[in-house]
Structure 1
Amino acid sequence: MPNDIAPVSETDTGTDYEIRTEEALRDLIGHPSGLAAKKSLPKLDKYCRDFIALSPFLCIGTMSGDGRADVSPRGDPAGFVQVLDDNTIAIPDRPGNHRLDTMSNILANPSVGLIFMIPGFEDTLRINGRATLTRDPAILDRAVIKNKRPEIAIRIQVEEAFLHCAKALKRSRLWEADAQVDRSVMPSLARIILNQTSEGEAIDEATVKTADERLEESYRKHLY
């Protein structure tokens, strides 16, 4: 067996193998060519700016100082991400659960990756760069919604930007109406979290009802 390919575990069936080096990966999959090899830009162009202006949703990937990865969603009315110049964008921070995973990671490791999405678009925009946290009044003042001004924003120095093809969204049928899943097929978020944190203790329905109501009240009153 080659040194750069190994069984995943002792229980491996013999058909699943770990790829250990990029050379082995490239031998298996190949290299990008054509437009895929050339499309990466070192700054935002007109099309990237237009995509950001239409996007109400993104995911930002970060990594802690000890290498733990995290991905977090961000959403607001379309155009909420400010394009400050061809190499700089800013994302306002809205009220959340105070875990601060993304921002704590940025303080330890500024490298970030983002995917922007537009409802109805199957293409996505990817941006990689380096982030800092800012309280710049010029950025925060432009991010006021419902008279609520964010306390902080994530400022990102763009190092790479490119549009990503639609294969993943086509395969997932994300925007197709007949592919939408009825939320009732799973318990409410509050019930799930209560069950996950109960350590085996029974959860009474009154507790679930109160938790559901508090979550809905938070959505109504504390989005901004």
Structure 2
Amino acid sequence: MDAVTAPDAQPTDPDGRAVVDGYRAPGGLVLDKVIDHLDPHCREFIAHSPFATLATADPEGWPEISPRGGDRGFVHVLDEHRLALPDRPGNNRVDSLRNLAANPRAALMFFVPGVDQTLRVYGTTSLVRHEDLGVDLTEFGRAPLSVLVLHVRKAFFQCPKSVMRSGLWDPAQRVAPGTLTPFGRVIKDHCALESDLPDDATIWADLAQEL
């Protein structure tokens, strides 16, 4: 994407309140759809979701967002007020878990391929060992390293307009192979490495062994 040069904006409304106040008030359904538990519709959606994003923040308020995925229903609904998100092998940065250890508030956004609406769930969390949960969350032949239990404070379905605008599930929107810079080259440049990394096919094959 080409860079666009623009002059520094000089806001006349430094705290942004006038900008926010310029939006029309939300309709009644937008507010009324927020519930404090996982009803059957939420549970059905989560059971079909293979992908979600986890949002956390550190004690100073800096946000973190992390993709999470697995087989459909990889996030397990324990009851209408609790769900369990298993933590699978990753890059071991554990930024989200470090945040939650200090600031237990979190949000999950669930996606279902081919479905334009998304589901947002907010709550407080506790981190537990898999063996202490009493529920088998083994997937891809591995037990999770830990489990995040989210105690639901609110849940609601998100308006599908953003997904509709993006054409996220439209096959015609798929990026053709070779369009983007190979991932190995990206990491080499980001890390200022002197030697090349393996080709992407090799990298993906190695990652697949660690799912």
**TM-score higher than 0.5 here?**
yes
Q: Which ranges of structure 1 fall in alignment gaps of 5 or more residues?
A: 1-10
Name whichever structure is richer in helix by fraction. 1
Give the residue type in structure 2 aligned to 1:65. P
Q: Does 1:221 align with 2:209?
A: yes
1:184 alignment partner, SS class: coil
- The alignment-based identity, stated in percent, is 33
Supply the distance in 1 between the matched residues of 2:50 and 2:92 (Cα, whole angstroms).
Answer: 22
1:20 alignment partner, SS class: coil
Supply the distance in 2 between the matched residues of 1:13 and 1:96 (Cα, whole angstroms).
Answer: 39
What TM-score does the superposition give when structure 2 sets the normalisation length? 0.89
Whether the 8 Å contact between 2:130 and 2:145 is mirrored in structure 1 is no
**Equivalent residue, structure 2, for 1:131:** 125
**Equivalent residue, structure 2, for 1:197:** 191
Deviations along 1:157-201, whole A, 9 cap, x unmatched? 000000111100011000001111124111222210110111xx7
Whether the 8 Å contact between 2:57 and 2:100 is mirrored in structure 1 is yes
Whether the 8 Å contact between 1:140 and 1:152 is mirrored in structure 2 is no
Give the residue type in structure 2 aligned to 1:100. V
Runs of 4+ displaced beyond 6 Å = none
Whether the 8 Å contact between 2:117 and 2:160 is mirrored in structure 1 is yes
Whether the 8 Å contact between 1:92 and 1:140 is mirrored in structure 2 is no
Supply the distance in 1 between the matched residues of 2:19 and 2:191 (Cα, whole angstroms).
Answer: 40
Q: Which ranges of structure 2 fall in alignment gaps of 5 or more residues?
A: 1-6
**Equivalent residue, structure 1, for 2:99:** 105
Shift of 1:217: 3.7
Whether the 8 Å contact between 2:118 and 2:157 is mirrored in structure 1 is yes
Q: Does 1:40 align with 2:34?
A: yes
Q: How many residues align structurally? A: 206
| Larger Rg, first or second structure (1 or 2) | 1
Shift of 1:17: 5.7
What TM-score does the superposition give when structure 1 sets the normalisation length? 0.84
Give the residue type in structure 2 aligned to 1:83. V
**Equivalent residue, structure 2, for 1:144:** 138
Give the residue type in structure 1 aligned to 2:115. F
Q: Does 1:161 align with 2:149?
A: no
Give the residue type in structure 1 aligned to 2:121. I
Whether the 8 Å contact between 1:140 and 1:149 is mirrored in structure 2 is no
Supply the distance in 2 between the matched residues of 1:127 and 1:25 (Cα, whole angstroms).
Answer: 27
**Equivalent residue, structure 2, for 1:12:** 8
Give the residue type in structure 1 aligned to 2:136. R
